[in-house]
Chain A
Amino acid sequence: MSEQSNKTPDTDTAPIVRMEKLNKHFGSLHVLKDVDLTVTSGEVVVIIGASGSGKSTLIRCINGLEEYQKGHLEVDGKVLKPDGKSSRELQQVRTEVGMVFQQFNLFPHLSVIDNITLAPTKVRHASRAEATKTAHRLLERVGIADQAEKYPSQLSGGQQQRVALARALAMEPRLMLFDEPTSALDPEMIGEVLDAMRELARDGMTMVIVTHEMNFAREVADRVIYIHKGEIVEQGTPEAVFDAPQNERTQSFLSRVLTH
């Protein structure tokens, strides 16, 4: 059974995400089919796949933004029940798991600095001064130290996404989820966001990334997962998946996306 096949010594490096035979339906649509996914600390996992294949749904299950129907899911040592909408465990998991969305989802009524300090002060009960200091440090790290007092609508898309990244990092997460973080950006702004993510990966952050940026995936990923109609059909190192894909559906997907 699967418990034996993908065993990980849960003594010192227990996986941050352990998903076993996860199944998810939207009504009659079977979106995720027996998905097994284990992410260990420090690992960078990139998920690729065609539109509608279930990438977003998969990544959103990890922090409970989507419910699921069957299977087992453990994140940061806590079991997330299928419909544990408002459970305490879920909230605890969310404080340890950051997420960056395709549409940034910054809070438009709050300044950049308030966007970043909101969760640390309300959830972690950090002092205002402390949270502000951390926020400035993070803004510097993502290269927009001078934008702290502005409102999201006054920033470019690339800057907004970097604020969103800083906002998530302010909670000092143990795992970062990215759902197509550059898909809503003008081409000239993609680089600045990828640079910030690259640096994060270099610093050892555990990351699960859904992206269509194949060059970036090849460069930062420890493991690439190809998902097709809700099933993981292939996974391995970037070299293995990109240069010598075994599954013909992976081959045909890659030949389509790598040509342009």
Chain B
Amino acid sequence: MNGSFEFNWQAALDSIPYLLAGVPYTLLISFGGLAIGFVIGMFFGLLRLSSASWLRWPAIVYIEVFRGTPVLVQVLFIFYGLPQLLGGPIDAITAGIAAIAVNSGAYISEVVRGGVQSIERGQREAGLSLGLSRTQTFRYIIWPQGFRRMIPALGNQGIISIKDTSLFAVIGVGELVRQGQIYIATTFRALEVYLMVALLYLAITLTLSLLLRLLERKGLVGQ
């Protein structure tokens, strides 16, 4: 091969099929984790809003713990630490999904809380004064409006979590970065390969951004 100061387009292109094999894992871990994270976030976000302090406190503790520790430490804890407790190994993909779930769940809790709190008091009062129960008022009036306001912040969290999965190369999940590292180990084309890795992340996150913008535009109808 030529001197390494030169950018080798051929090497960059050659790496693509190999890197693409990592994309499904990146998507599986990030979207699997985010889906669970959303459920967790709804649960703790609503608990966080409760007027009963014994419901509020567990939510506060959860949010602070998982927002205040690095996702890398979380995944290491789950992958290497938890098996000691459980007495059996956890596979790397499961550990990755779990880490994204608990980590994004903490942030999404706060997004949910903010979204719900942003709805004017009069909306709740109007619902209650019509005879709707508190649950119905939440379900038909508060949540639909709050959710629309959450979309930008949820999208933001989605993009962050997708990028966070790159850290999981350390536990050997065959996602994008890991695929890149393996390829570089045999070809020594770090510049080309990491550029391709970066472009693939960008392709994923830009697609998500675009989808979100479409959603937002649709969600705005009738606001």
Contacts and interface: CB of A to CB of B under 8 A. Distances in A.
Contact of A97 (B129, B145, B223): B129
B128 A111 contact: no
Contact of B130 (A64, A118, A153): A118
A98 B127 CA distance: 11
A183 to B, nearest CB: 14
Contacts of A97: 129
B72 to A, nearest CB: 40
A77 interface: no
A122 B129 contact: no
Contact of B129 (A63, A86, A103): A63
B171 to A, nearest CB: 43
Contacts of B129: 63, 65, 94, 97-99, 168
Contacts, number: 70
A107 B134 contact: no
A260 interface: no
Nearest to B136: A122
Contacts of A94: 128-131
A171 interface: yes
Interface in B121-145: 122-123, 125-134, 136, 140-141, 144-145
B122 A101 contact: yes
A223 interface: no
B148 interface: yes
A98 B126 CA distance: 9
A109 B125 contact: no
Contact of A119 (B122, B130, B144, B145): B130
Given A108-B222, A109-B144, A122-B140, A91 B131 contact: yes
B127 to A, nearest CB: 8
A123 B125 contact: no
Contact of B132 (A92, A98, A123, A164): A123
A111 B122 contact: no
A111 B132 contact: no
A63 B127 CA distance: 12
Nearest to B133: A91
Please classify the interface of chain B as helix (H, G, I), strand (E, B), loop, or mixed, using the class held by over half of its residues.
helix
A156 interface: no
B130 A167 contact: yes
Interface string B18-58: 00000000000000000000000000000000000000000
Contacts of A64: 128
Interface in B87-146: 120, 122-123, 125-134, 136, 140-141, 144-145
Contacts of A109: 144-145, 148, 222-223
A105 interface: yes
Contacts of B223: 108-109, 151, 153
Contacts of B134: 86
A95 interface: yes
Contacts of A91: 131, 133
| A-B pairs with lowest CB-CB distance, top 8 | A95-B131, A119-B130, A105-B126, A105-B122, A99-B129, A151-B222, A123-B131, A94-B131
14 contacts: A63-B129, A65-B125, A65-B129, A91-B133, A97-B129, A101-B125, A103-B122, A118-B132, A123-B131, A123-B136, A151-B222, A153-B222, A153-B223, A168-B130
Given A94-B128, A103-B122, 15 more contacts: A64-B128, A94-B130, A94-B131, A99-B129, A101-B126, A105-B126, A107-B123, A109-B145, A109-B223, A118-B130, A119-B130, A122-B140, A151-B222, A151-B223, A171-B131
Interface of A: 63-65, 86, 91-92, 94-99, 101, 103, 105-111, 118-119, 122-123, 151, 153, 164, 167-168, 171
